[in-house]
Each structure stands twice: as C-alpha cells, then as structure tokens.
Amino acid sequence: MTDYSDLIQPDKGQDARPIHLVDKKGYDEWLKGRSARERAHLAAVGFKPDAFVHAILPGDDPEKWSVVTTVADAASLSAWCLAKLGQILPEGRYRLEDRQPGKALFGWMSAQYRFDTYKSNAPTKGSRVLLTTDVGAIAPMVAEMRAVALVRDLVNTPAADMGPAAIEKAAGRIAKAHGGKLTVTKGEALEQGYPMIHAVGRAAAKHHAPRLIEIEWGKEDHPRIALVGKGISFDSGGLDIKPAAGMRLMKKDMGGAAHVLALAELVMASGLPVRLHCLVAAAENAISSDAFRPGDVLKSRKGLTVEIGNTDAEGRLVLGDALTKAGEAKPELIVDFATLTGAARVALGPDLPPLFANDDGLAEAMLAGGTERDDPLWRMPLWDGYADLLETDIADLGNAGSSPFAGTITAALFLKRFVPEGTAWAHLDTFAWRPSAKPGRPKGGAALGLRAAWAMLQARYDRRAKG
C-alpha cells in the first residue's frame, strides 16, 4: 500500500527536477526567457500551450532535464492540475518553479493510487515526489488522500471479501487506532431493535449476516454529530432481481459505508472537537427462501410501517433504522452517504452527487466545501409535493414511489421521515464509482462528496473551537 506521506516532502533545497507551469496567456512571455535550445526543442515537438499538455525540456547535462506543462490558469491551480504529471513522469523528485502547488498536491498523490491486491504480478513504478515549502499543508493533504484511498480500497474489494463482517473489521481498525468505541448489533438483537436492517439482510449466508456497526468518539461536552452510511455489501436486487448488467457493479453498494468510515477517521485523526457517532447499516441483499418479499410490511425501529413495493429499494430501509438510532442521541447534525438511486445518475451523471438538505446554511456550507476542495455537489430539492408518491393503502409509507418520476427526490423524502424534526441533516446520493479514468481519478471505486463534507465539518467546528 502506498504511504502517501512519501509523495509530498518539505523542500529543503534538495536536488529535484523543475516543473514549469504556463498557461495560454502567459506562454509567449515565458518562452522568451528560455534558451535557444529549449525553444528549438519545443518547436520541433510541436508543443502548444493547450491545457494539461506537457513536454520534457533537455538540459546541458543528460540528467538535468526539466518539465513544462500547461494549465488553464497558472495563477489558480485546481486539485487536478498536476495529476497527469504525477501519473506519468519518471520516478524522482520534482518542484514547481517559482510557486507552490497548493491544492494540486492532492491530485499529485491521487494519481499514484493503485489497487492491485488481486494481481499476481502487479506492475511496479517508483514514486514521484513533489517538494513544497508550504510544510503545514502536507499533513492535512496526506490525511485527505489516505481517506480517499480507503474509500477506493473498500469499494474496489470484491463482495466475497467485503461482506458485513469485513466492513465491521474495517470499522474496528479505525476505532482502535483512534480510541473510539465500537459497538456491533446483530442476530436477535438486530431483529428486535433494527427490524428493517434485519429484513434486508436475513437471506444472506451466515458469514454475511446483517449488522449495525457503530463508532463513538470524542468528549461528551462537544457538539454531537452523526455520520450514517449505507453498507449493502452486495445488492442482487432481492426477489425483484436485477439484470446481470445492473448487478455487475453492486460490490460498490457499500460505498456509503466506505465514505462515512473514511470521514470518521478524518474527524478522529484530526482531533476535531465533536462528539462523533458513526453508524453503518451493513447487510447483503441476497435471495433465498427467507428473503423479504414485495408486498411485505416491515415495522421500522421508529415504529413506522413500510410496505415493500420493490425489494431493490433496500438501501433506504437500512438507512431508515440507522437514522432513527442516530437521532435518538439528539445530534445537532446528521450527514448520510448512500449509493441510493439510479435516478441520481440519470439526473446528474456519475461525477456529480446530488445533495439534499433540510437546512439552507448546511447546504451552502457543503456546496462551498465542494467548490473549495474540487469535489463538487449539486443541491436538489426536498420537495414535499412528491411526498404523496410514497403513500400506500396498508402501511404508513411505501419504500418505492408510485411513479417512475423523481426517484432521487422520493428516496430522499423517505429518509427524511426518519430524521428528527429540528435536526440539521444532509443526504448525499453518491455513486462511489468512476466508469472511466481521468487524471488523478482512476476507474473504479471513488470518493465523491467525501472531501466536500470534510471541508464543511472543518469550517463548522474548527471555527467554533477558535471562537
């Protein structure tokens, strides 16, 4: 596993290859300052100052070459401006010429992520190390990269090796490392106390038995927050079985759990002054003679009854019980992550998670965090006008909307029924997956919304501690 702290190091004047950053508007002026040899080389290779194009510049000595790369705006670097270089340059040390990397430190590390656990002969490539004199930025950026890598690793792991017990093991490691208290509810206690989680997971094999996993950490007198994650380790769709193509990526259906575990570790490792309650509803939605059925009515922990219109709308069921438990401790803030609806992908595609929130200030802080971290979100409406789509003839509500429209909104409205009145709440319908690679963002498991939520928590609670 990559130790990301090795990829960014303090600049103490050690030998390193220069990286020249230019943009289209400043390229001609920069070019005037280069040697005749360098200008001739750039002309010979047909270098154009288009974004993210790069070239190797020869030096007087064969080992003294440097790099020039173009970005959209050299004065304002995004997280991804150096990602391509971090991925393709030869191993060695590098430094930016006449500037600091800033947010681009993250993309440099992210580009060097690899998931090769199951490869017999994984290709090896030495590290590309970036130097910076902004030493204070190193540890926080490395922590975020480790959190993102954790999400990717958990989501990329096949479901046979990432069932509810393995999710519990990951939570246990995090709790132990940071002095948190781990509580796991399963078996008869789960059936009695969290009937919807139990119902969704009861058809799975014994070694994939459902459970509610909780981590508590922090001082009692600090503001209480809850992070809630959907941990469906594999989703067959249940008796409303998915087609083969729809089932292929369902190892990622525990992506919400991966996000909240990584976010919880960021909170604990940083010592954020909060009383943390992290909850993961872990289950496999399998098919057997004991599977829950369309038309069944489940009783929730909150006491509401839910008619099952579709067994493939199981994520909202396990989250309903987990949100109820979170609310019982009276937190001032609840944030949940879930790979909840295909409708979210239809609406916003794979890269942009929908954000729902019952508090405008919280929504604005989440959106601002996404902008600041280059981890964008898009707010969608919790429009109560669609609440009637969850009505059913024989129960308090149904788990599947009665209309093919507004699926993302009706799922969020379902969750809202399990959030205490007056508690600030945000729901992220994340995809947790990238169907194709981009610089610094490999195909596969993805942390989408994680860094936005972390930025919000830092802004909200670090400011309070200082004030």
For the segment 223-281, what is each residue's pLDDT rounded down to a tens digit? Answer: 999 999 999 999 999 999 999 999 999 999 999 999 999 999 999 999 999 999 999 99
Is the distance from CB of 180 to CB of 147 less than 8 angstroms?
no
Q: Is 291's pLDDT higher than 60?
A: yes
pLDDT range class, residue 218, cuts 50, 70, 90: very high
Q: Is 64's pLDDT higher than 90?
A: no
Q: Is 71's pLDDT higher than 50?
A: yes
How far apart are the C-alpha atoms of 163 and 209, rounded to whole Å? 8
Q: Find, among 171, 346, 152, 145, the residue nearest to 255 by Cα.
A: 152
Strands 211-217 and 354-357: unpaired
Average pLDDT of the residues in 322-346: 98
pLDDT range class, residue 110, cuts 50, 70, 90: very high
Query: In what helix (H) or strand (E) does residue 31 lie, and over which residues does it extend?
Result: helix 27-32
For the beta sheet containing 66-70, the strands, ordered from the edge strand earlier in sequence to the opposite edge, are 8-10, 128-132, 92-96, 17-22, 66-70, 54-57
Our CA angle for 225, 226, 230, nearest 5°, is: 160
Of 202, 251, 275, 316, catalytic: 316
Domains of the chain: 4-130 (3.40.220.10), 142-465 (3.40.630.10)
Model pLDDT, residue 465: 42
CA distances, 182 to each of 246, 277, 318, 370 (Å): 34, 10, 19, 30
Average pLDDT of the residues in 288-298: 98
Lowest mean pLDDT among 77-86, 194-203, 455-464: 455-464
**Does the active-site annotation cover 242?**
yes
Model pLDDT, residue 123: 78
pLDDT tens for 89-106 read 999 999 999 899 999 999
**Does the active-site annotation cover 173?**
no
Lowest mean pLDDT among 51-55, 281-285, 301-305: 51-55
Average pLDDT of the residues in 436-456: 97
Lowest mean pLDDT among 2-16, 260-274, 329-343, 352-366: 2-16
Q: Is 199's pLDDT higher than 70?
A: yes
Is the distance from CB of 66 to CB of 18 less than 8 angstroms?
yes
Model pLDDT, residue 60: 82
How far apart are the C-alpha atoms of 79 and 86, rounded to whole Å? 12
Q: Which amino acid is at 38?
A: E
- Please provide the average confidence, as pLDDT, over all residues in the chain: 95
Query: In what helix (H) or strand (E) does residue 184 lie, and over which residues does it extend?
Result: strand 181-186
Model pLDDT, residue 464: 44
pLDDT range class, residue 50, cuts 50, 70, 90: confident
Q: Which amino acid is at 57?
A: L
Q: Note the helical H segments in 89-211.
A: 104-110, 138-156, 164-178, 187-193, 195-201
Of 99, 114, 242, 299, catalytic: 242
CA distances, 111 to each of 7, 70, 79, 164 (Å): 11, 17, 11, 30
Token pair listed for 251: 């190892």
What is the pTM for the complete model shown? 0.97
SS3 of residue 452 by DSSP: helix
Average pLDDT of the residues in 170-196: 98
Q: 95: number of CA atoms within 13 Å, CB side? A: 16
